[in-house]
Chain A
Amino acid sequence: MSARANIMRSSAAHAILIAYTILALYPVFLIVINSMKSRRAIFNDPLALPTRETFDLVGFHTVLEQGNFLLYFQNSLIVTVASLFFALLFGAMAAFALAEYRFRGNLLMGLYLALGIMIPIRLGTVAILEMMVAANLVNTHWALILVYTANGLPLAVFILSEFMRQVSDDLKNAARIDGLSEYRIFFTIALPLVRPALATVAVFTMIPIWNDLWFPLILAPGESTKTLTLGSQIFLGQYVTNWNAVLAALTLAILPVVVLYLIFSRQLIRGITRGAVK
């Protein structure tokens, strides 16, 4: 009786989750299948799978030959990975300090560091551009890395400080008695223990950076520093859009995110569910 109710309940749950998965993945699926069809087939029947007649990799050819695609790809990767690295490093350090040390204004400092979550960084675009011009950083990777690091920090500090507080005091104290420096305690004890939280923050920080069009367009539109998202725009014209190329570029752009996600996902799930069950 209860076993049957259980099966009913779990199949209902699965049905809902499967429906949601289909809904979420269908646009991605459409992009991927259409990137492999000829231009005519895309317009004739956008929902159809590529057949022998309609299969065409012209989009990929265009992207790889015409655009400076590999360079854009590399730019995106450099900017994303570097921003992620700095946001996580400095975010975790600030979180450790906030969680570990008693000092005047600790709470206020924590609030101040987290405040950025609520203020859209794009409001400051003009000021940022002026600063980058003054610092001579326009059209460099650093312009983007600095902005994205700053943008990623509030969320990283906010989430990680909560997790840092859960790292056992005894463990840190034991390390102090063993003569480890505060930096070694941070790197060898605290960081590995908050790894799931790091992965969570990494995914949340990474995706908007990878997808961003705004700041690359304003701060680094030069050919040598164009990111993938910005680079793909050459196929989107005011009058004519090369859909094959756009879809192929998008398909290729999904790949690294998927790879990074797979790397983080095991940790991610632990990060989300930790504390919920204990």
Chain B
Amino acid sequence: MGNLSLTKVCKSFGPVDVIRDVDLEVKDGEFCVFVGPSGCGKSTLLRMIAGLEEITSGDVCIDGAVVNNVPPSKREIAMVFQSYALYPHLNVRDNMGLGLKQAGQPRAEIAEKVDRAAKMLDLEKYLTRRPGELSGGQRQRVAIGRAIVRKPKLFLFDEPLSNLDAALRVQTRIEIANLHRELGATMIYVTHDQVEAMTLADRIVVLRDGRIEQVGAPMELYHNPANEFVAGFIGSPKMNFLNASALGQPGKSLGIRPEHLMLSRDSGLIEGRVSHVEHLGGETLIYLRADPHGLITVRLFGEHAASVDDRAFVTPDMARAFHFGDDGLRLAA
């Protein structure tokens, strides 16, 4: 009841190709996250699914029906925007109910649906307020409520947490995850934040320059990245890419995650000097400068004493290292 399939979808603005040959299937009830650096076309792709952006070629199908020429309001979708996009002249209740009113639903039914959504999102007290009188988090909940009342086949989220502060972002992230469990609806979520992608997604679509780099479950991407880009993008702190030939390893670079490096004071494979230390309590990040590899990040659990300019050695756990060739693709192990 909420399948989405994209076949050879392309988009160009004049001579510039923004989306190139994207093929994707999203199953009913799936939480699918589009992630990628800014300018990779993820928001454009979402807008094309919503019908806000024309498709240059290819097909967008919702529940098996091609919707290329169907206007957004007839696609049975709902969208939550980064800037909330609430109607400033309407109160919360009318903001949430406008879509239903536009679709010609009876007033009593609209009121009931709005009340139910408001209860779910803890917005009952604010129904008569205008967006200007709400905090950022409340506004975002109203925007989510506006999406819920429509009972859409597809929920589309366009970086919904980017305008919230860090604490609220974590809280709202959990709320969205709960919402997905409760509603069991298909959700497509765009973000540039790989932590949001990892924590929310059933499946992550990594995009770069308008192309899909890899599609997979979060842990699949973490343990089995197809290329250097995905390996570097998924996981925080970022994966280290060491000079492979200097270590006598095949390929151009050796990818190793900061948590898979062993640090030692007196012996190891790579010698370097500490250039910066970050103490986070639960973990300690040590940045090591080592030629010819550049800056190497080491992630240690718990508290560790280290000071800048200390000499240190690191040894990668070779079983968990990835080899990448000159073209950035992963070499067969």
Interface residues of chain A, those whose CB is within 8 Å of chain B, are 168, 170-171, 173-180, 188-189, 192-193
Contacts and interface: CB of A to CB of B under 8 A. Distances in A.
B88 A173 contact: no
A192 B89 CA distance: 8
Given A170-B84, A178-B73, 16 more contacts: A170-B82, A170-B85, A171-B85, A173-B52, A173-B79, A173-B81, A173-B85, A174-B79, A175-B87, A176-B52, A176-B71, A177-B50, A177-B72, A177-B77, A177-B99, A178-B102
Interface residues of B, number: 25
Interface string B104-135: 00000000000000000000000000000000
B221 to A, nearest CB: 29
Contacts of A193: 88
Residue of A170, A175, A180, A193 contacting most chain B CB atoms (<10 Å): A170
Contacts of A171: 83, 85-87
Interface pairs A-B: 7 shortest CB-CB: A179-B73, A170-B85, A178-B99, A179-B102, A174-B85, A170-B81, A177-B72
Given A170-B81, A173-B79, A176-B73, A189 B87 contact: yes
Contact of A177 (B79, B86, B88): B79
Main secondary structure of the interface of A (DSSP, over half): helix
Contacts of A170: 81-85, 158
B166 interface: no
B81 A180 contact: no
Nearest to A184: B102
Contacts of A179: 73-74, 99, 102-103
Nearest to A178: B99
20 contacts: A168-B85, A170-B81, A170-B158, A171-B83, A171-B87, A173-B52, A173-B85, A174-B81, A174-B85, A174-B146, A175-B87, A176-B73, A177-B72, A177-B99, A178-B73, A178-B146, A179-B99, A179-B103, A180-B73, A180-B98
B75 to A, nearest CB: 8
A173 to B, nearest CB: 5
B242 interface: no
Contacts of A168: 83, 85
**In the complex, which of the residues B82, B87, B88, B89 has the most CB atoms of chain A within 10 Å of its own CB atom?**
B87
Contacts of B47: 173
A180 B146 CA distance: 14
Contacts of B78: 177
A177, A178, A179: residue with the most chain B Cβ atoms closer than 10 Å: A177
Contacts of A180: 73, 98, 102
Nearest to A176: B72
A175 B72 CA distance: 10
Interface string B51-85: 01000000000000000000111100111011111
A178 B98 contact: yes
B269 to A, nearest CB: 51
A47 B280 CA distance: 80
Contacts of B146: 174, 178
A188 B98 CA distance: 12
B95 to A, nearest CB: 9
B112 to A, nearest CB: 18
A35 B82 CA distance: 60
A168 B85 CA distance: 8
A180 B73 CA distance: 8
A173 B86 CA distance: 11
Contacts of A174: 79, 81, 85-87, 146
Most buried by B among A168, A171, A178: A178
Contacts of A177: 50, 52, 72-73, 77-79, 99
A89 to B, nearest CB: 19
A10 B73 CA distance: 55
A188 B73 contact: no
B85 A188 contact: no
Interface string B168-179: 000000000000
A179 to B, nearest CB: 3
Contacts of A192: 88-89
A178 B84 CA distance: 14
Nearest to A171: B85
Nearest to B73: A179
B3 to A, nearest CB: 19
Nearest to A192: B89
Contacts of B102: 178-180
Nearest to B78: A177
Contacts of A178: 73, 98-99, 102, 146
A53 B82 CA distance: 72
Contacts of B52: 173, 176-177
A193 B98 CA distance: 18
Contacts of B72: 173, 176-177
